[in-house]
Amino acid sequence: MLFRLPLILLLLVSLVGCAGQRVSVDYQPGTAFGLMQTFGWAEGDSSELAARNGLMERRIRDAIAQQLRWHGYSEASADPDFLVDFRLQDVQRVRYHTYYDDPFFWGYHRPYFGPVFSRTVAEPYIERILTLDVLDPERRLVWRGSYSGRPSSAESPAEREAEIQAQIQAILQHFPP
């Protein structure tokens, strides 16, 4: 039990860190989610991720399977009720900050005269988007959940795994709708 304590604490810290992150969900109304009991893997975008980074792909796949099992679904190799696919992408974004400068400001109080100059600074950053798709057996999209936030600064594999677990849990807490 003592060896699990650091992992549990790390997971809790990761969940607190994920509180400001964005999760969005969309689904096809009228889909019989209550009849779904087994899941399988669709070989779509996740196979491209496996070619680029097999370690991250394995972490994501294991986290999805673990969360779906926790929700009561079982993995089936033949004729699953729904298929799961995921995509991980880094998107370059730009955030703008505007600063105001006063060339006549020399003391503690701003005088009520004189010009105020503004300058806008562009700050590029990377946003990581993890998208999880649920497809029916005919490979039609019936549910999509996505998580977006800053890329991980985790150093160790255990920290990366805990972060992925927290992200997948945040997405799948909305499944089924």
The tokens for 79 are 């004729």
Q: Which domains does the chain have, with CATH numbers?
A: 27-90+130-172 (3.30.160.670)
pLDDT score of 22 more than 50: yes
Arithmetic mean of pLDDT over the chain: 81
**pLDDT value of position 16:** 47
What's the CA gap between 132 and 174, in Å, rounded?
Answer: 12
Beta bridge partners of 21: none
Q: What average pLDDT does range 129-143 have in this prediction? A: 93
What percentage of the chain reaches a pLDDT higher than 70?
Answer: 74
pTM of the model as a whole = 0.71
3-state helix, strand, coil in the chain (%, to 5): 30, 35, 35
Residue pair 150/140 in contact by the 8 Å Cβ criterion: no
**pLDDT value of position 92:** 92
**pLDDT value of position 106:** 61
Q: How many CB atoms lie within 10 A of CB 176?
A: 16
